[in-house]
Amino acid sequence: MDTVAAHESAMHDAHAHDHHDHHHQETFISKYIFSMDHKMIARQFLITGIIWAIIGGLFSVIFRLQLGDPNATYPWLEDFLGHWAKGGKLNPEFYYALVTMHGTILVFFVLTAGLSGTFANFLIPLQIGARDMASPMLNMLSYWFFFLASVIMMSSLFVQTGPASGGWTIYPPLSALGEASSGSKIGMDLWLVSMSFFIVSSLLGGLNYITTVLNLRTKGMSMTRMPLTVWALFFTAVLGVLSFPVLLSGAILLLFDRNLGTSFYLSDIIVAGKVLPNEGGSAILFQHLFWFLGHPEVYIILLPAMGMSSEILSVNSRKPIFGYMAMVGSLFAITILAFLVWAHHMFVTGLNPFLGSVFVLLTLLIAVPSAIKVFNWLTTIWKGNIRFTPGMLFAIGFVSLFISGGLTGIFLGNSALDVHLHDTYFVIAHFHIVMGVASFFGMYAGVYHWFPKMFGRYLNNTLAYIHFWVTIIGAYLIFWPMHYEGLAGMPRRYYDFSNWESFKQFGELNQFISLVALIVFAVQILFVINFFYSIFKGRKVTTLNPWGANTLEWTTPIRPGHGNWPGELPEVHRWPYDYAKDGKEFIAQDVPVGADESKH
Amino acid sequence: MEREEIITKNKIHPHKLTLWIGIGSIVMMFAGLTSAYIVKRNQAGWVSYDLPMAFWYSTIVILLSSATIYLADKSFRSRAMGNYRRWMTVTAVLGIVFMVIQYVGFKAFWSQGMTLQANVAYSFLYVIVGLHALHVAGGVISLIVMSLMAFSKKKRVYSTVPVELIGTYWHFVDALWIYLLIFLILIR
């Protein structure tokens, strides 16, 4: 009894706000700024993520200007960037800063915080029938640590020597020696400090998501009745909680090397004719620590997109998801394998070939759960009564991109081929399609699908269709040709390809890619306009369950308050995928099982 | 209503679960550092060294503090609040003593020429032991806050959860130190 009593008192703490929130008028600050409501925190993550996405996307457009036509000058760039674009031509140092920040922003600030932060916060409590996260306080702190990280990263854009410019993977010695380049100076310190706060934010979030899923499910919501979205967000959190600390330890050692004269990563270095005293360090050690996070990070970005797409594909095909347990099993398999493949980023570091072949095998194994997922998505929509809502289109787009990008992963996972393709545009094409654009599609699918629940209004459909078609065609037009450039040996991160005879053939292709990138970016701005316009002026949601979905979030009021359900929590009687069953279009999870109901 | 929701699920308290997952996370950070240590040890330029004597004394202190926090927890459960306050304070003091001894150990180590920059082996020692001490510091701060709250006449706390949380965390930093000590002795 003792433990039960303890539970009660603490659960009461966790949910004490339920009571007063319904009775008291909240202030602007407690409702919109320092909110502890998971739905508001989700919106904060989403909007911060969108702002970052605009900045990160804009950076790519600017460096594509350089790549598309290395000899052109754009006088307006100087007005905009000052001494970084003297005479309208991008400074090489700043070009590296742009690619570094583009990677950092999109990988961490948009597709990790913006994606998991938004949807884990929004969907986990709503879909498992909880009033809020296990610790709303930690949840709020998670956002504010992210905000702090954002402010620091943003301020690094404005320091005189510029932001970090050694690539988003911040390999030493470039990142460890202030004298190595202008982007290795204060910009790099700010990068490290910002990322440390970011890691804290991500850990606080992850702890909360895992505890909430394991502990706060409503009555009847067994683990095997959870929507695949929640499963995916759960495994994402597990990945983050176990891999981010290792990056933190790597970053701490890097901070020591930078500022306290240690030699964890440094040995036998000469900068500008001066021999540095550092001895005994190993730059490869950093790569191990970095990629031990870096590879799981890929799945931290992908799994939420997988989970949301599974859900949206099933809802809009009006069919149960095909192979629910196989879907959960493959998510689990991917989570385990994600920790065992990091060295496939390091095939050209002089890795022992035997060890290399072990990593090849483990890497190629990921194709198995990935293929299971793809076939299950396809069989889910097979002969379905498909509704092409914008969310559905983006979910289908996700599957398409995941297949296209996944297949080139089989090339790169093979060390014999990777030695040739490493650090070429083939890699750029591969990971942008499979991880970048695919996850963006998952995120868009989620935004279009759950926007009505988030804001009580719909997004404009016409703009959404334009957004989808231009983006998917554009994404393929941008990244497909890069495979050919990569196969021809065109290296990534180069500032100007026009000096190489062998790459001159790609001049026009690069121009074309840049043009499409510009158009695709413009269409994303259209989405942003649609997003913010619809928050205030979109068509109002008038039914509780606009998509006819089974999951619990649609049993809440149209604009749920803090606590989500005004009365008692719903009780769950079935899995979330009872579509087209016993002559009914859909049966929500809180509907009791009828006496003569068939088994699914 | 709230009551019904909770009694149906006799699960581990959410805050405790959060702490355990957080501990897993901290373990991963030290696992990252100690594996980096192992990798580096097998490369050229590594030097072996003996740990400062002080670390043995600090080990005794932190083991003692685990015993005192256990007594604090036991006193709280039997509502012997005087004893609870006493043991919490003793534990906090022992935590501070532990950190002081670690510092003394560092100083002795440093004065023998084994400075942070002299060799990667020493750098690792400072970083790993230092980070552990930071985790102890976090625990000490929580202990001090809880001791002060226990002395305050205004607030009465009946939930055993905070005491259990700090107890678990404290035993963890203790166990982590024992692991690090054995690791640093065996692998050098």
Q: A558: helix, coil or strand?
A: coil
Residue of A498, A342, A482 lying closest to A426 (CA atoms):
A482
**Is the CB of residue B2 less than 8 Å away from at least one CB of chain A?**
yes
- Render pLDDT for B97-109 as a digit per residue (tens, 0 to 9): 999 999 999 999 9
Q: What chain B residue is nearest to A265 in terms of C-alpha separation?
A: B120
Beta bridge partners of A333: none
A549, A552, A553, A558: CA torsion to nearest 10:
80
| pLDDT reported for residue A181 | 87
Asked if A582 and A599 count as a contact pair (C-beta separation under 8 A), the reply is: no
Separation CA A326–CA A320 (nearest Å): 13
DSSP string, A352-365: -HHHHHHHHHHHHH
Six-digit token pair at B37? 């240590």
Give the confidence band of B6 by pLDDT, cuts at 50, 70, 90.
Answer: very low
User: Cα dist. A1→B2, B3, B7, B81, B166 in Å?
Assistant: 16, 13, 10, 21, 22
DSSP string, B138-178: HHHHHHHHHHHHHH-SS-----SHHHHHHHHHHHHHHHHHH
**Is the CB of residue A1 less than 8 Å away from at least one CB of chain B?**
no
Residue owning tokens 């997004």: A459
User: Cα dist. A195→A27, A188, A252, A256, B130 in Å?
Assistant: 32, 10, 11, 15, 21
Give the confidence band of B153 by pLDDT, cuts at 50, 70, 90.
Answer: low
**Is the CB of residue B8 less than 8 Å away from at least one CB of chain A?**
yes
| pLDDT reading at B4 higher than 60 | no
Separation CA A215–CA A395 (nearest Å): 30
Distance from CA of B121 to the nearest CA of A (A): 9
Give the confidence band of A12 by pLDDT, cuts at 50, 70, 90.
Answer: very low
Q: Using CB atoms and an 8 Å cut-off, which of residues 329-388 of chain A contact chain B?
A: none
| pLDDT reported for residue B188 | 81
Separation CA A534–CA A522 (nearest Å): 18
Question: Mutation test of the interface with chain A: which of B11, B38, B77, B123, choosing the one with the most A Cβ atoms within 10 A?
Answer: B123
Q: A581: helix, coil or strand?
A: strand
Beta bridge partners of A457: A540
| pLDDT reported for residue A274 | 87
What CATH number should be reported for the domain holding residue B111?
A: 1.20.120.80
Number of domains in chain B: 1
Q: For chain A, give the percent of residues with pLDDT over 90.
A: 84
CA angle (A417 as vertex; A410, A368 as ends), nearest 5: 15
Average the pLDDT over each of A123-137, A444-458, B150-164 and give the range with the smallest value: B150-164
Alpha helix (H) residue ranges in A433-506:
438-455, 461-487
- Render pLDDT for A212-247 as a digit per residue (tens, 0 to 9): 999 999 999 999 999 999 999 999 999 999 999 999
Length of chain B as a residue count:
188
**Is the CB of residue A568 less than 8 Å away from at least one CB of chain B?**
yes
| pLDDT reported for residue B10 | 56
Inter-chain contact B28–A246, Cβ cutoff 8 Å?
yes
Beta bridge partners of A361: none
| pLDDT reported for residue A278 | 86
Question: Mutation test of the interface with chain A: which of B3, B116, B127, B135, choosing the one with the most A Cβ atoms within 10 A?
Answer: B127
| pLDDT reported for residue B155 | 64
- Mean pLDDT score, A579-600: 87
Six-digit token pair at A43? 């919106």
Count CB atoms within 10 A of the CB of residue B110: 15
| pLDDT reported for residue B66 | 96
Asked if B14 and A134 count as a contact pair (C-beta separation under 8 A), the reply is: yes
Asked if A406 and A446 count as a contact pair (C-beta separation under 8 A), the reply is: no
Separation CA A176–CA B123 (nearest Å): 15
Q: A215: helix, coil or strand?
A: helix
Residue of B9, B29, B13 lying closest to A211 (CA atoms):
B13
| pLDDT reported for residue A25 | 63
Separation CA B115–CA A219 (nearest Å): 59
**Is the CB of residue B67 less than 8 Å away from at least one CB of chain A?**
no
Separation CA B170–CA B80 (nearest Å): 21
Which residue range is the domain that position B98 belongs to? 2-186
Q: What is the CA radius of gyration of chain B?
A: 19
| pLDDT reported for residue A13 | 42
| pLDDT reading at A267 higher than 70 | yes
Q: What chain A residue is nearest to B123 in terms of C-alpha separation?
A: A262
- Determine how β-strand A274-275 pairs with β-strand A270-271: antiparallel
**Is the CB of residue B115 less than 8 Å away from at least one CB of chain A?**
no
User: Cα dist. A108→A153, B94, B125 in Å?
Assistant: 11, 40, 31
The CB-based long-range contact list for A282-285 (8 Å cut-off, 24+ gap) reads A282/B39, A282/B40, A282/B43, A283/A171, A283/A172, A283/A173, A284/A346, A284/A349, A284/A350, A285/B36, A285/B39, A285/B40
- Render pLDDT for B8-56 as a digit per residue (tens, 0 to 9): 455 788 899 999 999 999 999 999 999 999 988 888 788 888 999 999 9
Separation CA B99–CA B27 (nearest Å): 20
Asked if A545 and A588 count as a contact pair (C-beta separation under 8 A), the reply is: yes
Distance from CA of B138 to the nearest CA of A (A): 15
Six-digit token pair at A158? 């404005």
Inter-chain contact B8–A219, Cβ cutoff 8 Å?
yes
All residues at 6 or more sequence positions from A25 whose CB lies less than 8 Å from its CB, including other chains: none
Asked if A238 and A205 count as a contact pair (C-beta separation under 8 A), the reply is: no
Q: For chain A, give the percent of residues with pLDDT over 70.
A: 96
- Render pLDDT for A396-442 as a digit per residue (tens, 0 to 9): 999 999 999 999 999 999 999 999 999 999 999 999 999 999 999 99
Separation CA A209–CA A237 (nearest Å): 7
Average the pLDDT over each of A58-67, A461-470, A488-497, B153-162 and give the range with the smallest value: B153-162
| pLDDT reading at A598 higher than 80 | no
**Is the CB of residue A279 less than 8 Å away from at least one CB of chain B?**
yes
| pLDDT reported for residue B136 | 97
| pLDDT reported for residue B1 | 38
- Render pLDDT for A287-303 as a digit per residue (tens, 0 to 9): 999 999 899 999 999 99
Buried b (16+ CB within 10 A) or exposed e, A248-261: bbbbbbbbbbbeee
| pLDDT reported for residue A3 | 40
Q: Using CB atoms and an 8 Å cut-off, which of residues 282-321 of chain A contact chain B?
A: 282, 285, 288-289, 292
Inter-chain contact A285–B117, Cβ cutoff 8 Å?
no
Give the confidence band of A16 by pLDDT, cuts at 50, 70, 90.
Answer: very low
| pLDDT reported for residue B81 | 86
Six-digit token pair at A222? 């067994």
DSSP A218: P
Residue of A521, A390, A401 lying closest to A451 (CA atoms):
A390
**Is the CB of residue B158 less than 8 Å away from at least one CB of chain A?**
yes
pTM: 0.93
Mean pLDDT, rounded, of chain A: 92
- Render pLDDT for A24-39 as a digit per residue (tens, 0 to 9): 567 888 778 889 999 9
DSSP string, A491-540: BTT-S--TT-GGGGGGHHHHHHHHHHHHHHHHHHHHHHHHHHHHHHHSPB
Give the confidence band of A499 by pLDDT, cuts at 50, 70, 90.
Answer: confident
Buried b (16+ CB within 10 A) or exposed e, A310-328: bbbbbbbbebbbbbbebbb
Inter-chain contact A260–B29, Cβ cutoff 8 Å?
no
Beta bridge partners of A275: A270
**Domains with residue ranges and CATH for chain A:** 33-586 (1.20.210.10)
Tell me the ipTM for this assembly. 0.91
Six-digit token pair at B130? 């230092």
Give the confidence band of B151 by pLDDT, cuts at 50, 70, 90.
Answer: confident
Separation CA A300–CA A209 (nearest Å): 13
DSSP A179: T
| pLDDT reported for residue A11 | 43
- Determine how β-strand A584-586 pairs with β-strand A579-581: antiparallel
**Is the CB of residue B134 less than 8 Å away from at least one CB of chain A?**
no
Q: What chain B residue is nearest to A286 in terms of C-alpha separation?
A: B36
